[in-house]
């Protein structure tokens, strides 16, 4: 039984990864359950053995993806380095994810940001992405505690971090940037650091 359960989880994850990619590429509405099934070489019917609906699938993707990203940030938070260095690492990490697993970030930009009705019920106050928010919160409050960051409203600081990072990745996805994405990391990080530092 345990093995069976594990296999099922394995498959769920596989579906999540594929669906995340497709949603991120084509948008939530433009991706059909058939598209997902086809990409996975499985039947539509079977998809419903793992997720009760398209919305359900979208939500689980968000939770999972958020957890992955949060994990990366948590590792940074755990490091014994200055807040400035943490911010630099955060930006690099974020861009690294955007390069290696772009669907994670684009899923957020394309699906989560824009299909609020899908997430409305279960994601009030961003329950779905709570892990990420928490980690950013940790980074900020520790920075303040250490006297390295100015004390300010959480949300102001939060958007000052996430906004530029999300923005540059979005522009990258649109092919409007003239340099490789990673080359923007330093400048963005410096901007964020200057914006928040004590």
Partner DNA sequence: TATGAATGAGACTTCATTCAT
Partner DNA sequence: GATGAATGAAGTCTCATTCAT
- C-beta of 13 vs 113, nearer to a copy of itself: 113
- CA-to-CA separations, 173 to 46, 89, 110, in angstroms, rounded: 32, 21, 11
Q: How far is the CB of 49 from a copy of itself (least distance, A)?
A: 11
Chain residues in the site for a copy of itself (CB under 8 A): 26-30, 109-111, 113-117, 125-126, 152-153, 155-160, 162-168, 170-171, 174, 176-179, 184, 187-188, 191-192, 194-197
Q: How far is the CB of 57 from a copy of itself (least distance, A)?
A: 16
The answer to whether residues 109 and 169 touch, using CB atoms and an 8 Å cutoff, is yes
Chain residues in the site for DNA (CB under 7 A): 4, 8, 11, 29-34, 41-46, 48-50, 52-55
The answer to whether residues 198 and 87 touch, using CB atoms and an 8 Å cutoff, is no
Select from 184, 150, 179 the least CA-distant residue to 165. Answer: 184
Alpha-carbon distance of 133 to 127, in angstroms, equals 9
Q: How far is the CB of 94 from DNA (least distance, A)?
A: 29
Residue 8 binds: one of a copy of itself, DNA, none (C-beta under 5 to 8 A by kind)? DNA
Residue identified by tokens 């522009």 is: 171
Four-residue CA torsion sign, 26, 182, 135, 77: positive
Angle in degrees, CA 146, 84, 156, rounded to 5: 80
- C-beta of 42 vs 144, nearer to DNA: 42
Q: How many residues does the chain have?
A: 198
Select from 135, 8, 115 the least CA-distant residue to 62. Answer: 115
Q: How far is the CB of 110 from a copy of itself (least distance, A)?
A: 5
Angle in degrees, CA 21, 78, 90, rounded to 5: 45
- C-beta of 70 vs 157, nearer to a copy of itself: 157
Residue 21 binds: one of DNA, a copy of itself, none (C-beta under 5 to 8 A by kind)? none
Residue 145 binds: one of a copy of itself, DNA, none (C-beta under 5 to 8 A by kind)? none
Residue 13 binds: one of a copy of itself, DNA, none (C-beta under 5 to 8 A by kind)? none
Q: How far is the CB of 180 from a copy of itself (least distance, A)?
A: 12
């Amino acid at each position: 039984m345990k093995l069976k359960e594990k296999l099922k989880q394995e498959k769920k994850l596989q579906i999540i990864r594929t669906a995340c990619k497709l949603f991120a590429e084509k948008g939530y509405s433009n991706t059909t359950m058939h598209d997902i099934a086809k990409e996975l070489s499985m039947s539509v019917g079977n998809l419903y053995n793992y997720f009760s609906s398209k919305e359900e699938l979208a939500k689980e993707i968000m939770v999972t993806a958020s957890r992955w990203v949060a994990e990366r940030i948590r590792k940074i938070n755990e490091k014994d380095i200055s807040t400035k260095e943490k911010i630099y690492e955060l930006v690099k990490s974020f861009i690294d994810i955007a390069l290696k697993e772009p669907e994670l970030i684009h899923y957020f930009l394309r699906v989560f940001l824009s299909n609020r009705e899908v997430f409305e019920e279960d994601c009030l106050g961003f329950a779905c992405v709570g892990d990420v928010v928490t980690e950013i919160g940790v980074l900020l409050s520790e920075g303040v505690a250490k006297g390295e960051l100015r004390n300010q409203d959480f949300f102001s600081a939060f958007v000052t971090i996430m906004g530029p990072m999300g923005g540059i990745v979005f522009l990258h996805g649109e092919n409007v940037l003239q340099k490789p994405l990673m080359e923007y990391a330093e400048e963005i990080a410096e901007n964020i650091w200057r914006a928040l530092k004590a």
